[in-house]
Copies of this chain bind each other. A is one copy, B any other.
């Protein structure tokens, strides 16, 4: 049988998702639709980022269930294990090995300056300030440092190095990312260049793949869509549930006579993602105040959303947990082959190839 997974085609794509159990249509439209397209043109490696999932929360009670459900979603939505290698990060030891090697060429400050690290500290500090009587004792950077030292695992400091290892192990040429992940791809490129100049040309320098075509879908309250906010739509919702959820979305127009800005309206995100034929007309009617928001939400939109996931729902009902595990078992074997060959090269370049 022809092995479609290794033909490099236009390049190699590496992408992963953390199994946190919160997939919604935002992930499907921004990530999975892209994954299913890319597997037609690229060699693709898609993985369950379980080491990353336990970086800020060490609770693993649901990790297995979430991982299997998530991969079932991928497969039901069209990720094809004949075209893509689908695997579990923690079951491919080379991710940890290369990460350990790369930790030796990355300075502490480089990691502390990443916006994700600083942002997380500010998030913790914000949480604490609600009940922290001592908040005036330290200020600014010193206060953030104190939180970093006391409450942040060193795994949260080093996870961007693990991400670099994830990418470099597969000689990925293209990494689909959102804007917030751009500094991590830049770090990966820096690390690859530093390794290559220190030990020899082991690694391909990857490119970030920002797709302008991807619609970021906000939740019904206009905030980032998230299951934990309860403002999401799930591909597993029934037609009725989708109808009710869409109907409850906030819109940009307060009164019928207001002229709206569709790009400020989370309902227009849905039209852009699910109503490509109609979006221009919807936007015009919104700007000119010739349509009612109610009609914009309850017209054909809920059906378009439900229809776009009908194949997914049918297939999902047919996929057993056992099938998912079989796919992962094969994917892990494939990923281990690719990465142990890469680690052999890495050891050779590092002159640490003691034994054949």
Q: How large is the interface on A (under 10, 10 to 19, 20 to 34, 35 or more residues)?
A: 35 or more
Chain B residues positioned under 8 Å from A61 (CB to CB)? 351
Per-position binary interface string of chain A over residues 302-335, scored 1 when its CB falls under 8 Å from any chain B CB and 0 otherwise: 0000000000000000000000010011001000
| Chain B residue with Cβ nearest A149 | B109
Which one of A5-13, A97-105, A283-291 is at the B interface?
A97-105
A residues 117-161 near B (Cβ < 8 Å) are 145, 148-155, 157-158, 161
Known A94-B93, A354-B67, A354-B325; contact A58-B153, beta-carbon cutoff 8 A: no
Interface-forming stretch among A47-55, A218-226, A267-275? A47-55
| Interface residue? A37 (CB, 8 A) | no
Interface residues of chain A: helix, strand, loop or mixed (majority) = helix
Given A96-B100, A154-B108, the answer on whether A63 and B149 have CB atoms closer than 8 Å is no
* CB nearest neighbor in B for A145: B145
- Known contacts A58-B104, A96-B97, A148-B108; decide if A352 and B90 are in contact (CB<8 Å): yes
The complex places the Cα of A145 from the Cα of B199 at a distance, in Å, of: 29
Decide yes or no whether A60 CB sits under 8 A from chain B: yes
Q: Are B158 and A154 in contact (CB under 8 A)?
A: yes
Q: Are A88 and B58 in contact (CB under 8 A)?
A: no
Q: Is the CB of A58 within 8 A of B325?
A: no
CA A150 – CA B51 in complex, angstroms?
A: 27
Q: List 18 A-B contacts (CB under 8 A).
A: A51-B100, A51-B101, A60-B199, A60-B351, A64-B354, A90-B97, A93-B93, A96-B97, A96-B99, A100-B162, A104-B155, A106-B155, A107-B149, A107-B151, A107-B153, A107-B154, A154-B157, A329-B355
